[in-house]
Amino acid sequence: MGLTANWSYPTTIKFGAGRISELGEQCKAVGMAKPLLVTDKALAALPITAQARDILDAAGLGRAVFSEVDANPTEANMQAGLDVYRAGGHDGVVAFGGGSALDLGKMIALMVDQPVSVWELEDIGDWWTRANPDTIAPIIAVPTTAGTGSEVGRAGVLTDSATHRKKIIFHPKLLPAITICDPALTVGMPAFITAGTGMDALAHCLEAYCSPHYHPMSQGIALEGMRLVFENLPRAYATPEDLDARANLMSAAAMGAVAFQKGLGAIHSLSHPVGAVYNTHHGTTNAVVMPMVLDFNRPAVESVVSRACGYLGIDGGFDGFRAHIVALRERLAIPPNLSALGVERARLDDLTEMALLDPSCGGNPVEMTRENTRALFEACL
């Protein structure tokens, strides 16, 4: 049969410090006259959000904002945003913030007027074709962290509040029409968010790089993305105002999201249920389980990881790479294990079942079973 695959690549990106100033004109370029800025509770009170609203206001686009966005957004958050969107007569979404705000902004734009529920648009087969594409509102994405890469993705993660399952909702028109990547917006992030989001970008690149699926373009992007994180995350963590380091991390975040079209794996299938049940920070949770997942996947990835080390300037092959990850985690004050995040052994059976239902399982280089996934969770405690 040969090598066959379906590939897709991202959108228009306006990249550079200070480019938030273009927000008004970019909204008009995609036809917005009354956008709703969607952000999270913490960001809503910060100067960068006031700045964005001032720019919209000065362009005659109003200053409407919705900020009832939880760290792991749910369908209740989405419904509250939809109520505000409809009541305000809005005609587009500016998704402004980290992964939670970006994802929820995309969900609001998607569900403005759909004939089906959001759960009927989960990323399973061709479920996305159930949506009416003509009612999806235009989206402009403005990331204020450098981690998830949701600003260049065609999906959003939503937590089902009844089952505590994180579900990936997909539609091609969830790809933002325009993304403004302004690294200056990330300077004020708390250190632990810089660390967690940077490790999230690394997890995306690492899992994509190790995925067994065929996607050479993503493979190359993942490799360079890892290099950018390794070289720039310690700099941004130690010197928050280093704009070059911030810019390189913002690039790495977008690269990770492009690369993981090739697949994710056990890092994400473990961290998604932990985040849904314990409300932990997604990128930090990824960082916690990363060395243990490397051990789990070693039989399948040792050679490909060793090959990367030459490009990344890491000595010692697979063992050197793993040691580099552990040293980076310590430098960034990442908790050492899942117990430190509050995960209880009594919940491991439930978490194992949730992990096996997570779509990231399919990209892991070693097949995940009930037995080995439970053992992997044990190793992470």
pLDDT interval class at 5 (50, 70, 90): low
Say what the pLDDT of residue 304 is. Answer: 97
| Interval 113-133: pLDDT, tens | 999 999 999 999 999 999 999
pLDDT interval class at 86 (50, 70, 90): very high
Q: Determine the Cα–Cα distance for residues 300 and 280; give it in Å rounded to an integer.
A: 29
Say what the pLDDT of residue 8 is. Answer: 55
Mean pLDDT of the chain: 95
| Interval 144-159: pLDDT, tens | 999 889 999 999 999 9
| Interval 270-327: pLDDT, tens | 999 999 899 999 999 999 999 999 999 999 999 999 999 999 999 999 999 999 999 9
| Interval 351-367: pLDDT, tens | 999 999 998 999 999 99
Residue 4 has pLDDT above 80, yes or no: no
Summary count for the chain: helices (H), strands (E):
13, 8
- Alpha-helical (H) ranges within 332-363 are 348-357
| CA 247, 252, 253, 257 torsion-angle sign | positive
Say what the pLDDT of residue 241 is. Answer: 96
> 364's torsion region: left (phi>0), alpha (psi -120 to 50) or beta?
beta
Superfamily assignment of 191-380 in CATH? Dehydroquinate synthase-like - alpha domain (1.20.1090.10)
* Domain boundaries, given as residue ranges, for the chain: 12-186, 191-380
Q: Determine the Cα–Cα distance for residues 256 and 259; give it in Å rounded to an integer.
A: 5
- Of the candidates 261, 213, 51, 74, which has an alpha carbon nearest to the alpha carbon of residue 142? 51
pLDDT interval class at 136 (50, 70, 90): very high
Say what the pLDDT of residue 163 is. Answer: 87
Token pair, residue 41, equals 């509770």
| CA 283, 287, 288, 289 torsion-angle sign | positive
Say what the pLDDT of residue 164 is. Answer: 83
Q: Are strands 155-160 and 165-170 parallel, antiparallel or unpaired?
A: antiparallel
Residue 1 has pLDDT above 60, yes or no: no
pLDDT cut 90: percent of the chain above it: 92
User: Domain 12-186: which CATH class?
Assistant: alpha beta
Q: Determine the Cα–Cα distance for residues 344 and 191; give it in Å rounded to an integer.
A: 27
Residue 10 has pLDDT above 90, yes or no: no
Say what the pLDDT of residue 60 is. Answer: 98
